Amino acid sequence: MIKAFFALSALLLALPARALAMHISEGILPPGWALLWFALALPFVALGVRQIKVQKKVDPSYLPLLGVFGAAVFVFSCFPIPVPVAGSTAHPAGTGLSAILLGPFASCVIAFISLLLQALFLAHGGLTTLGGNTLSMGVLGSFGGFFAFYLGRSLRLSLFWCGFLAGVAADLLTYFGTSLVMALALHGDQSMFSVLGQIFLAFMPTQIPLCLLEGAVTGGILVYIRRVRPDILRRLKVIREVEA
Amino acid sequence: MMSQAHQFIDAQGESRRLLVALDGRVKFVLMLMALGLNLWGARLSVSLALLAAGFLCSLLSGVRLRSFGKRMLMPLVLAGVALLTQFFWVRDGALLAQLDLWGWELLLMEGGLHKGLLLASRILGGMGVILFFSLTTPLPELMRAARFFRCPEVLVELTLIMYRYIFLFMEEGIRIRNAQKARLGYSGWKNALRSSGVLGGMLVLRTFDRAERSFAAMRCRGYRGSLAAVAPGPMAKKDWWALGIGTLLLGLIASLGS
């Protein structure tokens, strides 16, 4: 297993930098698994849509705000961050930031749309794998990031460290989810846990630095906004009046 | 690349070529059938035929070879990785070759090769189909089709707003990044990290202001909580013909697998 891990690591490090933003490509998942992941991810997206509908009735400016924020998070996730270990750049997931700013359910919806647009226009991910990708990036990433942020808040950590925890948790959980979805479908004659370990560990040389970087950048963004425009964080209920 | 894709696809929307001007609903249904066939067909020949069909239809629609090839590059790399991983994970069938890699014995089995090739062809076949669809269908057309098939209104509206602003922010982000670089941002790793945080923060700030301005502009143009869009009318005769011919073609491809 250790040899297989090193071989896979070498293989993945040899890929172009863009491949590090890992989405499961079209055609990888067999039909049964593709349908199952859709069935598991869609309730979260549906709940998100319902929540947005309710919020839109209360505040008609909510939908444009959500759409424009979603676009900004999408763009942020497309900008490369230098990864010192791999000697290249990688792309942040952005779900930690969107879950903090928009809430986890709305973030699932934003992730679903982002993945759809990425599959269509950038050939990253796919349509039959949209369920699997939404579950790992949208559901696990958003909820992981959201709960990590509030865990940090309840421990009275500074805003930077709360954002850092959210970025790290969202990134790690996204990759764990992707590895799990792939391992379940592709383990062949090997044990599923062994393949899961191989895939997850193979991504560690780049993922550990990337998740730390994403955490630092997410924390940095929150601190920058609080310094320059604290009213935005108050309106989005990220911080309380007294904290600004 | 994203910005170029947007300009290209929107320009394609004006095209009167038959394959481009087809009703979005027809293309949507045919794409779903093709993707389903790619997964359920489970044959190398089926997936490769779908790749060839997607490629030929794209060329006939005026998509340049370079444009198609550039977007296929990443799926091609992933198909290669998928093929290799199956050598590690599937150990059935006859032994085809035995390699000695740094003292580690790698066995190439028939089952692994077969599964790997199938997986790689499914990736390429599926992406070929998606690329034909995405490179010849502007997003508003796709969203009209989505509304027709009862996709929630909120999801359609949100997708259109996001699509509208992604390119704008992409250009804005690049401008901020260039300005940061001109002021010695991104020089050194720590500085690059700080610059990335400021870039993200600036994007959020500008986003917020732009969202408020957009909402005011939308209100001035009559927005009362939902976007007004032209509902798709009945399909033209050529669209029914296209649906029939497309289904026939997919049936022929499916017969390759039987």
Q: Does residue A165 or residue B230 have the better pLDDT?
A: A165
B112 touches chain A (CB under 8 A): yes
Is the per-residue pLDDT at B27 higher than 60? yes
Question: CA A230 → CA A129, A217, A222, B14, distances in Å?
Answer: 39, 18, 9, 44
Q: For residues A196 and A199, what is the distance between their CA atoms, to the nearest angstrom? A: 5
Q: State the residue for tokens 């709360």.
A: A162
Is the per-residue pLDDT at A106 higher than 90? yes
pLDDT at residue B184 in the model: 79
Q: Cβ A67–B152 below 8 Å, yes or no?
A: no
A13 pLDDT band (50/70/90 cuts)?
very low
Q: For residues A22 and A71, what is the distance between their CA atoms, to the nearest angstrom? A: 19
The domain limits of chain A are 30-243
Could you say which residues from 8 to 37 on chain B have a Cβ atom under 8 Å away from some Cβ of chain A?
Answer: 9, 31, 35-36
Q: Contact A152/A166 with Cβ under 8 angstroms? A: yes
How many Cβ atoms from other residues are within 10 Å of residue B236's Cβ?
13
Q: For residues B92 and B89, what is the distance between their CA atoms, to the nearest angstrom? A: 10
| Tens-place pLDDT, residues A122-140 | 778 889 999 999 999 899 9
pLDDT at residue B56 in the model: 93
pLDDT at residue A166 in the model: 94
* Average pLDDT over every residue of A192-211: 80
pLDDT at residue A128 in the model: 92
Q: Closest chain A residue to B156 measured between Cα atoms?
A: A113
Is the per-residue pLDDT at B163 higher than 90? no
* Average pLDDT over every residue of A180-203: 83
Supply the angle between the helices A95-102 and A141-154 in degrees, to the nearest 10.
Answer: 60
pLDDT at residue A6 in the model: 47
pLDDT at residue B193 in the model: 76
As a whole-number percent, the residues of chain A with pLDDT over 90 amount to 32
B183 touches chain A (CB under 8 A): no
Q: Does residue A69 or residue A243 have the better pLDDT?
A: A69
Supply the angle between the helices B153-182 and A62-78 in degrees, to the nearest 10.
Answer: 50
Average pLDDT across chain B, whole number: 82
| Tens-place pLDDT, residues A110-125 | 999 988 988 887 778 8
CATH ID of A30-243, from 3.40.50.410, 1.10.1760.20, 1.10.357.10, 3.40.630.10: 1.10.1760.20
- DSSP string of A91-159? ----HHHHHHHH-HHHHHHHHHHHHHHHHHHH--S-STTHHHHIIIIIIIHHHHHHHHHHHHHHTT--H
The H or E element spanning position A81 is: strand A81-83
As a whole-number percent, the residues of chain B with pLDDT over 70 amount to 88
Could you say which residues from 210 to 239 on chain B have a Cβ atom under 8 Å away from some Cβ of chain A?
Answer: 210-212, 214-215, 218, 223-225
Closest CA–CA distance from residue A22 to any residue of chain B (Å): 10
Q: Closest chain A residue to B201 measured between Cα atoms?
A: A221
Using a CB cutoff of 8 Å and minimum separation of 24, what contacts does B8-11 make? Answer: B8/B67, B8/B135, B9/A121, B9/B134, B9/B135, B9/B136, B9/B137, B9/B138, B9/B139, B10/B138
The domain limits of chain B are 2-147+234-256, 152-220
A22 pLDDT band (50/70/90 cuts)?
low
| Nearest residue, CB atoms, B169 vs list A31, A71, A114 | A71
Q: Which of B27, B80, B23, B25 is nearest to B54 (CA)?
A: B27
Q: For residues B221 and A152, what is the distance between their CA atoms, to the nearest angstrom? A: 43
Q: Which of B242, B30, B41 is nearest to B130 (CA)?
A: B30
Among A26-30, A166-170, B163-167, the least confident range: B163-167
How many Cβ atoms from other residues are within 10 Å of residue A27's Cβ?
33
pLDDT at residue B230 in the model: 63
Q: Cβ B210–A117 below 8 Å, yes or no?
A: no
Amino acid at B34: A
Q: Cβ B9–A121 below 8 Å, yes or no?
A: yes
- A25: which chain B residues are within 8 Å (Cβ-Cβ)? 74-75, 78-79, 82, 123, 126-127
pLDDT at residue B36 in the model: 93
For residue B120, how far is the Cα from the chain centroid?
Answer: 17
SS3 B105: strand
Q: Cβ A64–B197 below 8 Å, yes or no?
A: no
| Nearest residue, CB atoms, A71 vs list B81, B86, B166 | B166
- B75: which chain A residues are within 8 Å (Cβ-Cβ)? 25-26, 123
* Average pLDDT over every residue of A146-151: 94
pLDDT at residue B43 in the model: 84
Q: Does residue A135 or residue A76 have the better pLDDT?
A: A135
Tell me the β-bridge partners of A81: A90
A19 pLDDT band (50/70/90 cuts)?
very low
Among A76-80, B86-90, B248-252, the least confident range: A76-80
ipTM above 0.85, yes or no: no
* Average pLDDT over every residue of A30-45: 94
Q: For residues A53 and A39, what is the distance between their CA atoms, to the nearest angstrom? A: 21
- A57: which chain B residues are within 8 Å (Cβ-Cβ)? 225
| Nearest residue, CB atoms, A220 vs list B101, B134, B194 | B194
Is the per-residue pLDDT at A12 higher than 50? no
* Average pLDDT over every residue of A189-195: 83
| Nearest residue, CB atoms, A217 vs list B6, B74, B200 | B200
* Average pLDDT over every residue of B110-124: 89
A169 pLDDT band (50/70/90 cuts)?
very high
* Average pLDDT over every residue of B40-66: 89
Which of A11, A22, A25 is the mutation pick for testing B, counting most B CBs within 10 A? A25
Question: CA B129 → CA A26, A194, B2, B46, B255, distances in Å?
Answer: 10, 33, 19, 12, 18
Q: For residues A207 and B119, what is the distance between their CA atoms, to the nearest angstrom? A: 25
pTM value > 0.90? no
A242 pLDDT band (50/70/90 cuts)?
low
Q: Closest chain A residue to B117 measured between Cα atoms?
A: A28
Is the per-residue pLDDT at A207 higher than 70? yes
A18 pLDDT band (50/70/90 cuts)?
very low
Q: Which of A198, A212, A207, A197 is nearest to A86 (CA)?
A: A207
Q: For residues A66 and A184, what is the distance between their CA atoms, to the nearest angstrom? A: 34
A52 pLDDT band (50/70/90 cuts)?
very high
The single-letter DSSP state of residue B230 is P
Q: Cβ B89–A190 below 8 Å, yes or no?
A: yes
Q: Cβ B211–A116 below 8 Å, yes or no?
A: no
Q: Does residue A230 or residue B248 have the better pLDDT?
A: B248
- B205: which chain A residues are within 8 Å (Cβ-Cβ)? 225, 228-229, 232
Q: For residues B219 and B225, what is the distance between their CA atoms, to the nearest angstrom? A: 9
* Average pLDDT over every residue of B208-219: 79
Is the per-residue pLDDT at B112 higher than 50? yes
Is the per-residue pLDDT at B222 higher than 80? no
Q: For residues A110 and A27, what is the distance between their CA atoms, to the nearest angstrom? A: 23
Q: Cβ A123–B81 below 8 Å, yes or no?
A: no
Q: What would the two tokens of residue A9 be?
A: 């690591």
Q: Closest chain B residue to A12 measured between Cα atoms?
A: B81
